Structure 1
């Protein structure tokens, strides 16, 4: 899709590779130099449509869907972002696991998983720039910019779907380690607060405590003092 001319209306037919993908993630991938805030604005205004109908950012794509993309004249020519030597070195030394379906990257604190909201490059853009032989690279989940940890990147649509199913069905266990200051009141502590997903005008996704949100329970335990 890199040869599309977005200076005029473009109609994109969805292939099997993107079946089931969210509309916003699909657009962010092909409109590489368009700010995420603008993409979300175009969706809200109804200028981006699926099969001639209005759609939402979280609409799921299906094979043979036709996506209408309006003229977008602000796309730059930098389709291959420059990855710094220090980031190249870090990436090469911090791939914890890789096979034909996925790779696991040790994401450091301070590095966003994807660009947008004033961030020129994130993990996924860096990997796509460095590994052009991989036709498909997608984030299987997200980690906050200031959080370090294991980040899974899928290498095919099928792998992305299976990883997503495993995460949704709680087959994957997530463990977080935090450094805290002060006296811990007891050996174990629990936070029981409902969380609701929100999308900012910039396109950034966040969760916040909301009584209408999904039940969320986090258990804390001291491992070292």
Structure 2
């Protein structure tokens, strides 16, 4: 069992969330463990209790309780199948000395933990062993495909997080919703609350005491029994698109948590065996060059095939 750690927050880490700070220092710890020790008050900042989304300031002292995971985990190439390494390498859409943008495949978690041996960030650290600090700038669900941004330097990470907080990002998704999306509903402004369950899991639901969550839906194409919609996010809450779509009776196709299992089963033979949600566009200002970058992640084959199949089968 490790001892209590007291870690000083540097200028490079200023502005980072407590949960992200802990995930970097406890890389092999399951996410559920990290959130549990925060909730129980075992993690302290300047001797005070904090929440997972508390932002750190330079000079803060973070107390990390003893947890039974190694301080550092060296992931060697043999730990991750070569096919997966190649799959992620082939998914890199853009890369320079400061950052990279990846078209994440569906089914790949953004990081390991919670029973998952490795995720996207662990793969990238194997692919780029000379990069001293590779960090996720944001997250998307394991079953969601599309744009994800990784920073290579602490200064770049800090600036990109500042852009997120200032609402200077452009995040747009493509989704297939079951049923017909109501034409008059374009802006969805419904607060969301994340509740932890006794079994260690959690769920997200619309609740008056939840956090502000705003999505803008636009119908792109009517399909047989479904609609293809684009969604622009004003906020980035966990499962925001999925729960907002459910609130209007149109859960996402292939959603095994909030969707209709019988409907999902019906479309599975057509090749859509996962969540029909794709992070298509990601826009941000490059911290190093000041250039506005709008990245577009091409849809994966299963997504394009189900759109074609439902378009052709329309009567």
- Classify the TM-score, shorter chain: 0.7 to 0.9
CA distance in 2, matches of 1:67, 1:117: 23
* Aligned counterparts, 1:52-67, within 5 A: 52-67=47-62
Tell me how many residue pairs correspond in the alignment: 219
1:176 — aligned with what? 173
After superposition, the CA RMSD in angstroms is: 3.0
CA distance in 2, matches of 1:76, 1:50: 20
Structure with the higher helix share, 1 or 2: 2
Call closer, same or farther: CA 1:108–1:195 in 2, change over 3 Å.
Answer: farther
TM-score (normalised: structure 1): 0.81
CA distance in 1, matches of 2:97, 2:58: 24
Call closer, same or farther: CA 1:39–1:219 in 2, change over 3 Å.
Answer: closer
CA distance in 2, matches of 1:77, 1:114: 15
**Which runs of 5 or more residues in structure 2 are unaligned?**
223-310
Conservation of the 8 A alpha-carbon contact between 2:26 and 2:69: no
Conservation of the 8 A alpha-carbon contact between 1:189 and 1:221: no
Q: Alignment partner of 1:174: what SS?
A: strand
1:161 — aligned with what? 158
Conservation of the 8 A alpha-carbon contact between 2:16 and 2:158: no
Conservation of the 8 A alpha-carbon contact between 1:188 and 1:219: no
Alpha-carbon offset, residue 18 of structure 1: 1.1
2:207 — aligned with what? 210
CA distance in 1, matches of 2:201, 2:156: 25
Conservation of the 8 A alpha-carbon contact between 1:10 and 1:69: yes
* Aligned counterparts, 1:97-108, within 5 A: 97-108=94-105
Query: What do residues 63-90 of structure 1 show as CA deviations (whole Å, max 9, x unaligned)?
Result: 2322222322344985326222111101
**Which runs of 5 or more residues in structure 1 are unaligned?**
1-5
**1:32 aligned to which of 27, 36, 50:** 27
CA distance in 1, matches of 2:202, 2:125: 22
**2:115 aligned to which of 102, 114, 118:** 118
CA distance in 1, matches of 2:181, 2:51: 45
Alpha-carbon offset, residue 117 of structure 1: 2.9
TM-score (normalised: structure 2): 0.60
1:23 — aligned with what? 18
Call closer, same or farther: CA 1:103–1:222 in 2, change over 3 Å.
Answer: same
Structure with the higher strand share, 1 or 2: 2
1:45 — aligned with what? 40
1:142 aligned to 2:139? yes
CA distance in 1, matches of 2:149, 2:201: 20
